[in-house]
Chains A and B, each alone.
Chain A
Amino acid sequence: MTPTTNPQPSSRPALHAAGLRKHYGRATALDGFDLEVERGTVHGLLGPNGAGKTTAVRALTTLTTIDGGTAMIDGIDVRRHPAAVRERIGLVGQFHAVDEALTARQNLVLFARLSGISKARARARASGLLDAFELTDAADRAVAGFSGGMRRRLDIAASLVLTPAILFLDEPTTGLDPRGRATVWQAVRETAAAGTTVLLTTQYLDEADQLASRVSVMDHGRVIAEGRPDDLKRRLGGDRVEAVVADGTRISEAVDVIGRATGAAASVDPDTRTVTVEVADGARTLAPIVRELDAAGLAVDDLALRRPTLDEVFLHLTGGTAGTALDPVQEAR
């Protein structure tokens, strides 16, 4: 892939990367990575561990050098003008980057002042952010005593002292309990609602589904699929109906009945006594299936209509390698 010159369009994207390459010795971390993030959107970057998500974020935020390709943040070349790029980005890395020994307020005031804000205004800004992220009650306690969700929210707040052209969130909920995740999701939603562009990497597919309007799926250092979550799901096929047959010995009978009702070939998982059939319009085929099963005297333990999950899309796209996708081990840098 050749680096493209970037003619600046009238509404330039918050982030534009084309053909990014990055090697660590012989290992290739980025291998022609392309990404475009529209202003004002939340963009999800999905991929199994080792796919290169963290390397991509580190490269785009000037933390690591780029070996080839073009990267533009807010129309500014990352390789040529890293200092100018740093003025336009916010980064919440995988490791908590707030100071444990300091209080939440001290952290925010410090980062605000380092961002070039005078003392009095930095204090006011810190108070505003503490309020917005519901940290006011804990504002003057040392961060060491914070829960994971509180730390992440503080981490996000610290990245927003100046509204960045794009906020990078690298696996913001990895290692959090469900409540912590919910509060961080809320924080991300509010950040997006305030007009901030967000690039979110995650290995939790439901997270991307919940928060992102567009998703890029990464594997082996490049983006292998991109689109709205719904489009990606649709790509995998339509709805599916799953029936768990009560009597395992009559399962082949059930396959015939369901096949007849839908006009499609059903597949079987004998271990779970589940018959699955893909249908174009699930809601309409459900009734005939129920009637036919009833007429044949076949009892079912469960009958469900479901759409492909992003997990399935992910597994489908990344082949076998996605088996590690839910392994919470940190991605190798």
Chain B
Amino acid sequence: MTTTSSPIAAPADLRDRRPNALREGLLIAGRDALHQVREPWGIVFGLAFNIMLILMFGFLFGGAIELPGGGDYIAFLLPGMFALAMLFGLESTMTAMSDDAKRGITDRFRSLPITSASVALGRAIADLGSSALSLGVLMIGGLLIGWRPTTGPAEIALAVVLLLWLRFALLWLGIFLGLSFRGPGATTAVQVLVWPIGFLSTVFVSAETMPSWLGAIAAWNPISATATAARELFGNPTGATSGWLAENAVVAASVWPLVITAVFLPLAAVAYRRLRR
């Protein structure tokens, strides 16, 4: 390079860090988080929506719902809502990925000498962070309306870890969807489709009160596994008195996200590489 006094030309030895996926992932996560702070309405609205659902089901419908095995409905509902909030997080991951790809930011990242995993890694760190924050807000809100965990700190911590573990798994689904489907209808489609997935679970009602075929579907829903495990670990009523899920909820809540990750993390990587076509 020619040496000139122009401030545009970079000094030759300016670079002093080697490419490192974790460093770059954290930098991109910082940028993603800054986005969430600057444009917090997606997260705020998502939280408000969750709170509205809690109030609606907790107080409007809750009185009419009787749990198999007994127990307070608010105590049953809250852990389910925590799991549902993790599912809803899918939309924000998807939207953020597809917006970045549309706006050209992803191309800029891809033209930089950074490891290709760092864009997804950054998204994962940022979204997991904001979901943890949302979960914290929901838990405090739950405490205010009478939800109480009755177990020890270890169980409570495990419940939180399993909830975030589900969120982690759904990240890859969200990244895959966001990179693969960028049309204006895609986000709307996902917003609609999370509803049957969310409702066909034990989030709002026990599977045992459903027709047996429907109950079977609900019991096999990964959201149900996490919801039931969280109820168990918080010491809340599970609404499940017998059956496979009642006995193995924590195992199911550990394995389901692993399966989802095993399927969608590679698919997300493929979708990222397919941007090169």
Contact = CB atoms under 8 A, between A and B. Distances in A.
Interface of A: 24, 40, 61-65, 83, 86-87, 89-91, 93-102, 106, 110-111, 113-118, 121, 125, 128-129, 131-132, 142, 158, 160-163, 190-191, 193-196
A195 B1 contact: yes
A64 B277 contact: yes
Nearest to A127: B7
A114 B8 contact: no
Interface in B236-277: 275-277
A116 B102 CA distance: 25
Interface residues of B, number: 38
Nearest to B16: A118
Contact of A95 (B4, B107, B109, B113): B107
Q: Binding site of B, secondary structure by majority: helix, strand, loop or mixed? A: loop
Given A106-B34, A195-B1, A114 B114 contact: yes
A96 B111 contact: no
B2 A195 contact: yes
Contacts of B16: 116-118, 121
B155 interface: no
B203 to A, nearest CB: 33
B10 A190 contact: no
Interface in B75-131: 102-105, 107-114
Interface in B1-37: 1-2, 4, 6-10, 14-19, 24, 27-28, 30-31, 34-35
A230 to B, nearest CB: 26
Given A97-B103, A116-B17, A117-B15, A86 B6 contact: no
Q: Which of A24, A101, A160 has the most CB of B within 10 A?
A: A101
Given A95-B103, A117-B14, A132-B7, A63 B112 contact: no
29 contacts: A24-B277, A62-B111, A63-B107, A63-B275, A65-B276, A86-B111, A89-B111, A91-B111, A97-B107, A97-B108, A99-B35, A99-B105, A101-B34, A102-B35, A110-B27, A110-B30, A111-B108, A111-B112, A114-B24, A115-B112, A115-B113, A117-B14, A131-B7, A162-B10, A191-B8, A193-B6, A194-B6, A194-B9, A195-B4
A83 B30 CA distance: 24
Nearest to B5: A194
A131 B113 CA distance: 25
Contacts of B105: 97-99
A116 B31 contact: no
Given A64-B277, A93-B104, A95-B107, A116 B8 contact: no
Nearest to A87: B113
Interface in B26-54: 27-28, 30-31, 34-35, 38-39
A91 B31 contact: no
A133 B102 CA distance: 26
Given A116-B16, A194-B6, A194-B8, A63 B34 contact: no
B66 to A, nearest CB: 47
Contact of A163 (B9, B17, B38, B112): B9
A196 B31 CA distance: 28
Contacts of A193: 4, 6
Nearest to A164: B10
Contact of A190 (B6, B14, B35): B6
Nearest to A82: B276
A40 B2 contact: yes
Contacts of B31: 99, 102, 106, 110
B112 A86 contact: yes
Nearest 5 Cβ contacts at the A-B interface: A95-B104, A97-B108, A194-B6, A97-B104, A194-B8
Given A93-B107, A160-B8, 13 more contacts: A91-B108, A95-B103, A95-B104, A98-B108, A99-B105, A101-B34, A101-B38, A116-B15, A117-B17, A129-B7, A129-B8, A132-B7, A163-B10
A190 B8 contact: yes
Contact of B7 (A89, A93, A128): A128
